Each structure stands twice: as structure tokens, then as C-alpha cells.
């Protein structure tokens, strides 16, 4: 049995707001990449997902409707000027 994750298209990395990430994280459908430290998918994403910042992941349905791990970017905090 192979431990290599199935090939997924990670050429386009989803980007979401911090508040949307907080909602997904609360539901357990997104989180920090450190939660996947021993998962071989991290290395694949670093190679294949050029726009990924390497910090977050999310579950999304694939073409069959099954939930799969995908790299995720979360918007950086905006700075306000006073």
C-alpha cells in the first residue's frame, strides 16, 4: 500500500481572509501547516504550489466530491495608519 497522497492540482492556491480562515479552523476544515508536520503532502506542495506561503491548509472537495487537503494562503493582516 502506497503512502503517497493522490495527485491533486495545486497550481492555483486559494487565498482567503483571516475571518474566513477562523471560521474554517473552528469547523476543523483548515489549520496551520505545522499540524501536518510529518505528512508527505507538505513537501509536494512546496514543490508544486509555487504561490503557497507554506503556512496553512484546507479541505476542499475534489472532482468526485471527496474532501482532500489543499494548500491555503491567508491574507496578511492589514496595517492601519493613524
Grid cell 500500500 — which residue?
1
The pLDDT value given to residue 37:
87
Enter the C-alpha cell of residue 3: 503512502
The pTM of the full predicted model, rounded to 2 decimals, is 0.78
56 vs 12: CA distance, rounded Å: 14
The pLDDT value given to residue 50:
86
Q: Is the distance from CB of 10 to CB of 45 less than 8 angstroms? A: yes
CA–CA–CA angle 25, 30, 36 (5° rounding): 120
Rounded alpha-carbon distances, angstroms, from residue 19 to 40, 74, 76: 28, 9, 11
pLDDT tens for residues 29-77?
999 999 998 899 999 999 999 899 999 999 999 889 999 999 999 998 7
Amino acid at each position: 500500500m502506497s503512502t503517497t497522497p493522490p495527485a491533486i492540482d495545486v497550481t492555483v492556491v486559494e487565498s482567503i481572509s483571516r475571518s474566513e480562515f477562523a471560521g474554517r479552523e473552528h469547523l476543523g476544515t483548515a489549520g496551520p501547516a505545522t499540524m501536518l508536520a510529518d505528512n508527505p503532502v507538505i513537501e509536494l506542495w512546496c514543490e508544486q504550489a509555487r504561490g503557497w506561503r507554506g503556512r496553512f491548509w484546507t479541505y476542499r472537495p475534489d472532482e468526485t466530491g471527496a474532501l482532500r487537503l489543499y494548500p491555503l494562503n491567508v491574507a496578511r493582516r492589514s496595517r492601519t495608519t493613524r
